Amino acid sequence: MFVMADDTKLLLLFFLLSSSSLCFGFEHDIQCLKFVQQSVIDTVGVLESTWNFEHENDGFICQFTGVECWHPDENRVLSLRLGSLGLEGPFPQGLQYCSSMTGLDLSNNSFSGPVPTDISWQLQQLTSLDLSYNSFSGSIPQSISNMIYLNLITL
C-alpha cells in the first residue's frame, strides 16, 4: 500500500512539473517548431539538418537556423526568420504554439495555398510579418486587421 502511495506521489510530482513547464510555454514553443518542421517541404534540407530535437536542454532551440529567442537559455521563440531557405508547401502549421513570437519572415520561398483565415488568432503577438515572394493564393484574410500589434507587413 505504501509503495502505491509513493507511486502516486511521484505521478503527482510529474504532473506538477510538466504542467508548470506548460504554463511557461517552453514545451509549447518546442512543439511549435516540430509542427513547422513536419509541415513544410524542406527542399534544401536546412531545417532537417539544423533543427535537431534529440538533445533537449535550456535554450537548445535558440541554436536552430532562423530561430531567435527572447533569452538564449530559454526555449521561447521571439521570431522565426525563414526567408530564402527553399521551403515549399502550405502555410506552416503549429505557429500558434509559439505563443510569444513577435516576428515571422517566410519571404522568398515557394509556399503556396491560402494564408489561414485564423492567422490573427494563431499569431496574436506579431509585430512584423513578411510573406513576400511566395506563391500564396486566395485573398488576404480580413482577420489580419485584428492583429493589433502588427506594424510591419509585407505581402
Over its C-alpha atoms, the chain yields an Rg (Å, rounded) of 18
Instruction: State the pairing for strand pair 87-89/103-105.
Output: unpaired
Check binding of 108 to ligand NAG (CB under 6 A): yes
User: How far apart (Å, rounded) are the C-alpha atoms in residues 45 and 25?
Assistant: 28
**Is the Cβ of residue 30 or residue 104 nearer to ligand NAG in the bound state?**
104
Q: 82: Cβ–Cβ under 8 A, 6 or more apart, which residues?
A: 66, 92, 105, 106, 109
**Is the Cβ of residue 20 or residue 50 nearer to ligand NAG in the bound state?**
50
**Is the Cβ of residue 75 or residue 79 nearer to ligand NAG in the bound state?**
79
Check binding of 141 to ligand NAG (CB under 6 A): no
End-to-end CA distance of the chain: 63
Element (H, E) at 8: helix 2-24
**Is the Cβ of residue 27 or residue 88 nearer to ligand NAG in the bound state?**
88
Check binding of 84 to ligand NAG (CB under 6 A): yes
Least Å from the CB of residue 86 to ligand NAG: 5
Contact 88, 109 (CB under 8 A): yes
Check binding of 124 to ligand NAG (CB under 6 A): no
The residue within the footprint of ligand NAG, chosen from 86, 90, 114, 141 (CB under 6 A), is 86
User: How far apart (Å, rounded) are the C-alpha atoms in residues 152 and 132?
Assistant: 12
Least Å from the CB of residue 110 to ligand NAG: 9
Check binding of 99 to ligand NAG (CB under 6 A): no
Residues that bind ligand NAG (CB under 6 A): 84, 86, 108
